[in-house]
C-alpha cells in the first residue's frame, strides 16, 4: 500500500474518486433517476452555489512535508522503513554523482516518495556560470530519469548548501516547478508566492524536538506549509552536525502523527502542484434543470499530474442539511455520498474530472 491510501471514514469518497480514474471529454447530462426512488431536491430558480478553493488538499489546516538531503544510504536503510510504517511520504533530494546502486532509491520511489534533485555534484551553485548550473541540473534529472523505473518527472529541486540568488532561481525554474531553501515556515499568502524558494526548516544539533514541533504548530496556526528536512538518520544513535539519532526522528514523527488530523502530509512536489492548481485553475459550475450542478476545472497550469486534486468548498442551500448530497461522474453507475455537515460540501476534483452534484430527500427523515 502506498502512502496516503489508508481508508478513513471521511476519505472514502476521495479514494473512490481516485479509483474511478479519469475520462476526458465527458459530457454531463442530467442522470436518470431509475435507480434512486427519492425525488431530487429542486433548488430555487437562479440559485448557483458559491464555490471556493480550499487552502489545502482535503480541507486540512496546514501542509507538512518531510524531506531528506544529500543522498545518504540511511535514507532508504533507516528513514524509508520508518516512514512506511507510519504511512508518511516525503521527498528525497539526491545529488546523483554519489549514487552507485539505485535499488534503494527505487524502493523509496515505489513506496510513493518523491525523488527530487539536489544537483549532480552538490557544488556551490551560485559560484558557477549559467552553463555550468544548467549542466548540473540537466545531469541530475537525466540520472534520475534514467535509473528510476518509469522515468519519473523531477518536479522538485533543493539548493545545495541552501545557496541561491535571483539568477539561479530563474534557471532552476526552467527545469523544476519548485525548489527548497532553508529558513522558515512558508508564508500563508499563496497568491504571489514564489515556488522557486519554498522554505524548509532543517533539523540540526542540539536536536531540540520541542522547537521542531513548534514549527509544525506554527504552520497549523498560520494555515501554512512547513517542510522539515533531515540529513542522515542514524539507527545506532550516534550524531554529528548532520546526523540525527533515530529516536529524535521518531519523536518528531510521533508529534506529526499526533496532529495528523490537521495536516495534509505530502511531498514537496505535491504541495507545489496543489498551490499552482489553487492559484490558477478556475471552477465552472453549471446548473442543470434546477436539480443538479455540473462542476469542472479549467484554465489549468501546465505539468499538473493526473492525480493532483483541488479541494473545493461549495455552499449549498440551507435546507440541504436534511438531504443526501449525491456526487457522481456520468461514466459510472454508482454514486458517492458527500459528508453531510451543515450547508457546506467539500470535495476533491481532478483536472479531467467532471462531477455531477445533486441533492436527494433523505429517507431517514
Task: Give the chain's radius of gyration (CA, Å).
Answer: 22
Q: CB-based contacts of 43: which residues, under 8 Å, 6+ apart? A: 287, 290, 291, 317, 359
- DSSP string for 120-156: SS---GGGS-HHHHHHHHHHHHHHHHHHSTT-----E
Per the structure block, which three cell numbers stand in for 276? 499552482
Contact between 136 and Zn ion by CB under 5 A: the answer reads no
Whole-number minimum distance, CB 51 to Zn ion, in Å?
Answer: 42
Using CA atoms in the order 217, 218, 219, 221, what is the torsion angle rounded to 10 degrees?
Answer: 90
Cα distance between the two ends of the chain: 39
The reply to whether 69 sits near Zn ion by the rule CB under 5 A is yes
CB of 118: closest distance to Zn ion in angstroms? 6
Looking at beta carbons only, is 124 or 282 nearer to Zn ion? 124
- Distances from the Cα of 160 to the Cαs of 121, 163, 195, 310, in angstroms? 9, 6, 17, 31
Nearest to 71 by CA among 47, 99, 43: 99
Sign of the CA dihedral 76, 156, 21, 339?
A: positive
CB of 125 to Zn ion, least distance (A): 11
**x/- site string to Zn ion, residues 145 to 164, per CB under 5 A?**
---------------x----
With CB under 5 A, what is the number of residues at the site for Zn ion?
Answer: 3
| Least distance in angstroms from the C-beta of 358 to Zn ion | 52
Is residue 70 close enough to count as binding Zn ion by CB under 5 A?
yes
Q: Which is nearer to Zn ion, 4 or 160 (CB)?
A: 160
Nearer Cβ to Zn ion (69/358): 69
CB of 70 to Zn ion, least distance (A): 4
State the minimum distance, in angstroms, from the CB of residue 239 to Zn ion.
Answer: 17
Joined grid coordinates for residue 245? 539519532
CB closer to Zn ion, 72 vs 276:
72
Find the part of the chain contacting Zn ion (CB under 5 A) among 68-76, 279-287, 294-302, 312-320. 68-76
Contacts of residue 122, defined as CB under 8 A and 6 or more positions apart, other chains included, come to 70, 95, 97, 98, 160, 161
Nearer to Zn ion, 70 or 114 (CB): 70
Instruction: Look up cell 552507485; give the residue.
Output: 100
Kindly tell me which of 71 and 195 has the beta carbon lying closer to Zn ion: 71
CB under 5 A: which stretch of 63-71, 175-183, 203-211, 320-328 binds Zn ion? Answer: 63-71
Binding positions for Zn ion, 186-215, rule CB under 5 A: none
Q: Among 14-22, 28-36, 61-69, 285-293, which window interacts with Zn ion (CB under 5 A)?
A: 61-69
Site string for Zn ion, 278-297 (x = CB under 5 A): --------------------
Residue 98 DSSP label: G
- Least Å distance, CB 122 to Zn ion, is 6
Residues at the interface with Zn ion (CB under 5 A): 69-70, 160
Amino acid at each position: 500500500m502506498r502512502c496516503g491510501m489508508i481508508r478513513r471514514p471521511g476519505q472514502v469518497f476521495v479514494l473512490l474518486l481516485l479509483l474511478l480514474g479519469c475520462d476526458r471529454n465527458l459530457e454531463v447530462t442530467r442522470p436518470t433517476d431509475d435507480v434512486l426512488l427519492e425525488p431530487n431536491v429542486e433548488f430555487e430558480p437562479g440559485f448557483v452555489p458559491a464555490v471556493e478553493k480550499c487552502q489545502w488538499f482535503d480541507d486540512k489546516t496546514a501542509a507538512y512535508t518531510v524531506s531528506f538531503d544529500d543522498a545518504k544510504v540511511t535514507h532508504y536503510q533507516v528513514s524509508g522503513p520508518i516512514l512506511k510504517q507510519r504511512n508518511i511520504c516525503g521527498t528525497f533530494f539526491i545529488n546523483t554523482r554519489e549514487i552507485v546502486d539505485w535499488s534503494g532509491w527505487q524502493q523509496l520511489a515505489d513506496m510513493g516518495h518523491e525523488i527530487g534533485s539536489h544537483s549532480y555534484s552538490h557544488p556551490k551553485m551560485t559560484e558557477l556560470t549559467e552553463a555550468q548550473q544548467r549542466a548540473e541540473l540537466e545531469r541530475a534529472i537525466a540520472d534520475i530519469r534514467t535509473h528510476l523505473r518509469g522515468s519519473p518527472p523531477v518536479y522538485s529541486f533543493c539548493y545545495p548548501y541552501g545557496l541561491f540568488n535571483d539568477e539561479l532561481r530563474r534557471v532552476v525554474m526552467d527545469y523544476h516547478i519548485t525548489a527548497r531553501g532553508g529558513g522558515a515556515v512558508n508564508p500563508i499568502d499563496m497568491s504571489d508566492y514564489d515556488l522557486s524558494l519554498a522554505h524548509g526548516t532543517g533539523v540540526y544539533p542540539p536536536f531540540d524536538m520541542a522547537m521542531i514541533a513548534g514549527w509544525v504548530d506554527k504552520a497549523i496556526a498560520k494555515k501554512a506549509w512547513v517542510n522539515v528536512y533531515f540529513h542522515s538518520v542514524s539507527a545506532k544513535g550516534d550524531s554529528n552536525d548532520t546526523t540525527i539519532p533515530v529516536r529524535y526522528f521518531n519523536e518528531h514523527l510521533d508529534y506529526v502523527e499526533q496532529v495528523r488530523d490537521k495536516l495534509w502530509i505530502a511531498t514537496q512536489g505535491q504541495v507545489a502542484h496543489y498551490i499552482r492548481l489553487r492559484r490558477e485553475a478556475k471552477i465552472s459550475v453549471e446548473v442543470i434543470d434546477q436539480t443538479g450542478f455540473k462542476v469542472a476545472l479549467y484554465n489549468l497550469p501546465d505539468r499538473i499530474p493526473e492525480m493532483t486534486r483541488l479541494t473545493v468548498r461549495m455552499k449549498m442551500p440551507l435546507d440541504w442539511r436534511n438531504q443526501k448530497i449525491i456526487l457522481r461522474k456520468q461514466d459510472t453507475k454508482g454514486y458517492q455520498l458527500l459528508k453531510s455537515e451543515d450547508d457546506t460540501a467539500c470535495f476533491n476534483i481532478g483536472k479531467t474530472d467532471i462531477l455531477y452534484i445533486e441533492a436527494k430527500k433523505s429517507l431517514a427523515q
